[in-house]
Amino acid sequence: MAALLPINPINGASSSAAATAAAVSDKQMIAGNFQTFLQLLTTQLKNQNPLDPLDTNQFTQQLVQFAQVEQQMKSNDQLQTLINIEKSAQATVALSYVGQKVVVDGSTAKLENGRADWSFDSAKPATANVVIKDSTGQTAYSGTFGVQAGKNGFTWDGKGNNGKQWAAGNYTLSVTGKDASGNDVAISTEVGAVVDSVDVTKTPPLLSINGKDFTIDKIKRVMRAT
């Protein structure tokens, strides 16, 4: 059967390849413009009329443009280096979460050893109608419980309404709430689970939690594994 408990409040390879290709293309375009500009300037100096040489101010302006193009190329290289460092840092941080138990906003929890845990966050006291479904969408359990304002722990032992013990796996919970006057009450759900793996080919990296993907910013709390 399910149990409701009060708790204390506590919180891409393809895209990467495309970005790299775009960066290389931009660099090649700037380099091509750089070389073209240099050739034009050199040709202009070689073929200027000795009796009417290139105006000093105009020559200076062209040299400034020359320097700006060179600086743009260097800035792009440095910016790409910073981006690569940031990606590496994100991957390192993400990998540190593997094996850690974290809490995220979500509705899918893993049933193992006869236990699956969720927590509710209710805007005010309400009657909550809970429905739990397996990965195929089949209803495994439903029930009605009273919840307090704030965070409430919810535990399901894996048994259906008919007493059937459901197999271990991922189960999705949906909950709706009504107050004493029959008005809707907003109730959000959280799940605590171990981070199974991290996909560092994505930007930002994706953490796999109970078969769902989350970015690091979705983690609300990190808990000590029990």
| pLDDT on residue 175 | 95
Residue 31 has pLDDT above 50, yes or no: yes
Residue 15 has pLDDT above 50, yes or no: no
Residue 5 has pLDDT above 70, yes or no: no
- Cα dihedral 56, 58, 63, 69, rounded to 10, equals 180
Q: What is the mean pLDDT of residues 135-161?
A: 94
Q: What is the mean pLDDT of residues 117-123?
A: 91
pLDDT digits (tens, 9 = 90+) for 167-176: 999 999 999 9
pLDDT digits (tens, 9 = 90+) for 48-75: 766 666 666 666 676 677 667 667 777 7
The model's pTM: 0.57
| pLDDT on residue 36 | 72
Residue 91 has pLDDT above 80, yes or no: yes
For the residues of the chain, what is the DSSP string, one character each? -EEEEE------HHHHHHHHHHHHHHHHHHHHHHHHHHHHHHHHHHT-BTTBPPPHHHHHHHHHHHHHHHHHHHHHHHHHHHHHHHHHHHHHHHHTTTT-EEEEE-SEEEEBTTBEEEEEEESSSEEEEEEEE-TTS-EEEEEEEEE-SEEEEEEE-SB-TTSPBPPSEEEEEEEEEE-TTS-EE-EEEEEEEEEEEEETTSSS-EEEETTEEE-GGGEEEEE---
CATH value of 2-10+99-223 in 3.40.640.10, 3.40.718.10, 3.40.50.150, 2.60.40.4070: 2.60.40.4070
| pLDDT on residue 161 | 93
Structural domain spans, the chain: 2-10+99-223, 13-95
- Cα dihedral 120, 106, 93, 221, rounded to 10, equals 0
| pLDDT on residue 59 | 63
